[in-house]
Structure 1
Amino acid sequence: MVTTLKTLITAPKAFIRGLAEMPKALWLLVVGMIINVTGASFIWPLNTIYIHGELGRSLTIAGTVLVFNAGAGMVGNLIGGYLFDRIGGYRSILLGIMVTMASAFTLAVFNHFEAYVILLIGLGFGAGIIIPSMYALAGSVWPEGGRRPFNAIYVAQNVGVSLGTALAGLVASYRFDLVFLANGLMYTLFLVIAFFGFRYLQPKKDVSSSGSGLLQTDGIQEHKKRFRALLILCVGFLISWIAYVQWQTTVSVHTQDLGIPLSQYSLLWTINGAMIVFCQPFMRMFIQRWVHSLKSQIYIGLSVFMVAYLILTQAEIFTAFLAAMIVLTIGEMFVWPAVPTIAHQLAPEGKAGLFQGIVNSVATGGRMIGPLFGGFMADVFGMQALFYVLVALFIIGFVTTSIYDRRIDKGPSNQTVAREGA
């Protein structure tokens, strides 16, 4: 008990020392990701509310529109990963920013339903190009960092979510169309940072992924095994995202139907982002002390996710949704950084971008399937049934996490990299 208390007290200091070890190149990527996601967060939490409330369309139609947006994001993820391996992260990221920026500014002018659908597809495609390139670049500029560069980018994303959703709720409550203008301005700022700051980022030789270290290249058959392992792992990742995206779609409308103000719904995401940032020292301590592999880290996260959705089955007031969000946030802090880390370790030399593109396309696929699945379930069977089905689906995630690396001699999930801290 005394030792645990001492560890809790010293956790922030240990975390600060870990931040000091991060290279300047990674810090630059972190700042860029914060700006990028702040811009994106002006729109994504409010999509369903805008389509359903402002444009007067059903939840199923709103879900279908978000399917198109996420489908474009999936294509962007795969293209972005491919481009990273072919032309580098700098050019790939600039291309993605220009597509999103053009779509956002056009949306500020033309935001009737038909234009909204088309331009939302453009936003999804451009953002899809950016994200895998950022993750792959983070891993390449600090390969010896293990899971830490991916966790840093994940935390940066959530700082952006916290800032963006907090501002979006305020802007939308004044005038909804200003949200689109603010989105475009943030992408403009990101373009400036990327153009001048990312140009000279030099990837280092990777000592922790394929080619040396944990996994040696054994030819085409070994590459196929790694690829299959990644796909199996991503089945559980897909299910997790299908469940998670309900908070941005059906749950957002559910809170409105229960009379919970939009400002309080936005506050949930602000708390989510704040927890992810300020709980990092304690996550680092917990993982170093009690979590011995990336696979165990995913198991814990999936278990916590199940608890969050069980809470949602009984939620009718804001405090219940707040409790569910707090539990959900703890779960995602375990799962979300672990999967890109494993993908980085599985990737053969020269395929880091492709593997990160696959991981991000699966996450985007969850965001694509989730709104349609959730909208249909909510319209036909009700919200409670939806939440119980999601809890049951998480069991599949346990199975795929358990078996994905069985044909690999040394699965990265069994390495001590998970103990490097959050």
Structure 2
Amino acid sequence: MPRAIWILVIGMAINVTGASFLWPLNTIYMSQELGQTLTVAGTVLMFNAGAGVIGNLIGGQLFDRIGGYKTIMSGLTITLSSAFMLAWLHSSIIAYVILLVCLGFGAGMMIPCMYAMAGSLWPEGGRRPFNAMYVAQNVGVATGAALGGLLASYRFDFVFFGNGIMYLSFFILAFIFFRNLQVNQDVSAQTSNVFEQSQVVENKKRFHALIILCIGFLICWIAYVQWQTTISVHTQNLGIPLNQYSILWTINGAMIVFCQPFIKFFIVRWVHSLKAQIYVGVSIFMVAYLVLSQAEVFTAFVVAMVILTIGEMFVWPAVPTIAHKLAPEGKAGFYQGIVNSVGTGGRLLGPFIGGVLADVFGMTVLFYVLVVLFIIPFISTTLFDRNIKETFERPEAQAS
């Protein structure tokens, strides 16, 4: 990979490590330490994700207008200050909610910029820059979740301070190195609306295709986020220790890093389009949640996590890659902002939907509902490109 992509990868890993100190433990902290119900905890996380959606959209637009460096530094300033304030004020539910909203907004501004920068800095890399960013995110998830669970087993206060220290490290890295990663952009394309460019009809078709694809992406994230919310509390209710729950995310991150050669071999040998990649991944997701519906011991959760991780290695890199291929010139940030806002929207709706279903009907019903909902990604993936000339075949450059 080019040096610029390595810098982005390191930055993404540090950023997500910091966030992962906190997000797997949010629901547990609010339910066990602050005395809130699952529904209330889900609503708080919905506010956090809602702020992230707004941050994604604003960050994507700012990337196209003022560049990635300024946008990332702005988001980092908000996130860093909120993280350290939360370290001191986390005992109050009101302060907790306000600062989680600020964290969601600041983090939301940064992620689409980093994906757009990766695609713009290495356009000939096809799927590879997006896969590299995805792997970096999961290195951060594995590291942060493991360290966060370890720190929480001593004192929850340490988790909040660890979160702030990692964001400070990312701020220093971005300040020193990201300044030189500016992408040359067409100013005329930046300042125009996606519907006002020269090829209006084609751009509308591409935008509509992205929205259709993202409907299925939203469902996938609604299901996936249950691992961070309702499932985390479910494991506690089954008597599974907190440090073992954190191990599940360590397994997730480790698999994503070390299983890449196997996934690459499978994709190159048998999966010949990005659409097929999504079909395979969603099918594997369904199996994971069927296993979850019967899980009562830690070993069963490990099996479900392994299956889930295999599925996400197919789906998560494919969607931003398709978005990059769909994006008109000068709108890479905007399209990545849409994709990330939809993912964040799943994290917004998921905790609330999952919390209500779990509180009212129980966890088994929740898992079966999610399995049925996975039919929607199959439909959206089939339909999204029906009016697009591009076939989304996977060229060799897009191999992992």
TM-score, structure 1 normalization: 0.91
* Alignment partner, residue 359 of structure 2: 379
Q: Conserved in 1, the CA contact under 8 Å of 2:68 and 2:182?
A: no
The match for 2:215 is 235
What's the CA shift for 1:203?
3.0
Q: CA deviation at 1:204?
A: 6.5
Match in the other structure for 1:61: 40
Q: Relative to structure 2, which stretch is displaced further, 402-411 or 349-358?
A: 402-411
User: How many angstroms apart in 1 are the aligned matches of 2:97 and 2:32?
Assistant: 15
Equivalent pairs: percent with the same residue? 69
- Aligned twin of 1:313: 293
| 1:300 corresponds to | 280
> Please, which of 87, 94, 103 is the counterpart of residue 108 of structure 1?
87
Superposed counterparts of 1:113-262, under 5 Å:
113-203=93-183, 219-262=199-242
Q: 1:333 aligns with which of 288, 313, 322?
A: 313
2:72/2:113 contact within 8 Å kept: yes
> In structure 1, which of residues 90, 94, 100 is the aligned counterpart of residue 69 of structure 2?
90
Cα shift at 1:177: 1.4
Find the partner of 2:4 among 11, 14, 25. 25
Runs of 4+ in 1 over 6 A off after TM superposition: none
Amino acid at match of 2:32: G
Q: 2:385 aligns with which of 405, 409, 422?
A: 405
How far apart, in 1, do the equivalents of 2:397 and 2:289 lie? 28
CA 418–372 in structure 1, closer or farther in 2 if over 3 Å, else same: farther
Aligned length: 389
1:72 equivalent in alignment to 2:51: yes
Deviations 1:95-146 (A, max 9, x none): 1111110000000111111100000000000000010000000001000000
Unaligned runs of 5+ in 2: 187-196
Q: State the alpha-carbon separation in 1 of the partners of residues 206 and 398 from structure 2.
A: 23
Over 3 Å counting, the alpha-carbon distance change for 1:374 and 1:232 in structure 2 is same
| Mapping of residues 389-400 of structure 1, within 5 Å | 389-400=369-380
Amino acid at match of 1:278: F
Confirm or deny that 1:279 pairs with 2:259: yes
**TM-score for the superposition, normalised by structure 2:** 0.96
SS of the equivalent of 1:316 reads coil
Find 2:17's aligned residue among 38, 46, 49: 38
Structure 1 residue ranges without an equivalent (≥5): 1-21, 207-216
Q: Deviation at 1:79?
A: 0.4
Shift of 1:202: 4.1
AA aligned to 2:19 is: A
The one-letter code matched in structure 1 to 2:78 is V
Is the 8 Å Cα contact of residues 284 and 308 (structure 2) preserved in structure 1? yes
Larger mean Cα displacement after TM superposition, 175-184 or 357-366: 175-184
Letter in 2 for 1:92: T
* Aligned mates of 2:351, 2:291 — CA distance in 1: 20
1:368 maps onto 2:348 in alignment:
yes
Is 1:99 the counterpart of 2:78? The answer is yes
CA contact (8 A) 1:294 1:417 kept: no
Cα contact 2:67–2:183 (8 A) shared by 1 = no
